[in-house]
Structure 1
């Protein structure tokens, strides 16, 4: 499966539970992602909450949709940036979803997680 034209969904969980902190961290991530040659970076609009609900959760507020454009060649670069970004913060997780396939990256890394990431990237190469 290739990623050409397929949106990449990122969801940041800072692990803190503070919406202001999550928004600040998401903006830092957007700033770094903006340095890549991606076609688009968008904040998805959350559906209206059911009557009586307090509003969208922190995870919904910390979501992005990335358009890579006509080529999936940027996917490994995007994932590398996300891994580096998490490692520098030493906390939190980012879920990356392409279609129905999803992987969760955390600030810590180990050999098993690296193999899972390599398999995820392999499934989405052209």
Structure 2
């Protein structure tokens, strides 16, 4: 996997075990992400064992992406805003945003503490 620029991992949790629904939601998210000027978007290899009855263990983990922001990382606030808006429109689910060892969990509900955590995360990874 070749990620260009600052790698940002996004992991979507739809809140249920329906793999078909999770994949559908991930495709909707990917469609919106494709409108941003991102350096790259990759699906991450699965770290989970294959489902019972299947042969392959090299499948893709549903809901996991690695995004390359490009050189400056100036797109991070735009990316986080898109994720937050996307979740709020669905009124469910969680997306973990991870850069290195730093992680932020964004949920559909927004309150003052979550907004503060978001601002702090962006500050740590700003210019």
- TM more than 0.5: yes
Bigger proportion of residues as strand: 2
Q: Structure 2 length as normaliser, TM-score?
A: 0.87
Q: How does 1:10-89 map to 2 (within 5 A)?
A: 10-47=10-47, 49=49, 54=52, 60-89=61-90
Where in structure 1 do 4 or more consecutive aligned residues deviate above 4 Å?
none
Aligned-residue offset at 1:47: 4.6
Gaps of 5+ in 1: none
Q: Distance in 2 between matches of 1:5 and 1:99?
A: 13
Partner of 2:122: 121
Take 2:90 and 2:102, find their aligned partners in 1: how far apart are those partners?
25
Change (3 A) 1:13 1:48: closer
Structure 1 pair 20–76 and aligned structure 2 pair: CA distance change class (3 A): same
> Structure 1 residues 48, 82: closer, same or farther in 2, change over 3 A?
closer
Do the aligned partners of residues 121 and 48 (structure 1) sit closer, same or farther apart at CA in structure 2, a change above 3 Å counting?
closer
CA shift at 1:5, angstroms? 2.4
Is the CA contact (8 Å cut-off) linking 1:6 and 1:99 kept in structure 2?
Answer: no
Q: Judge conservation of contact 2:47–2:61 (CA < 8 Å) in 1.
A: no
Gaps of 5+ in 2: none
Instruction: Name the SS of the counterpart of 1:37 in structure 2.
Output: coil
Calculate the TM-score normalised by the size of structure 1.
Answer: 0.87
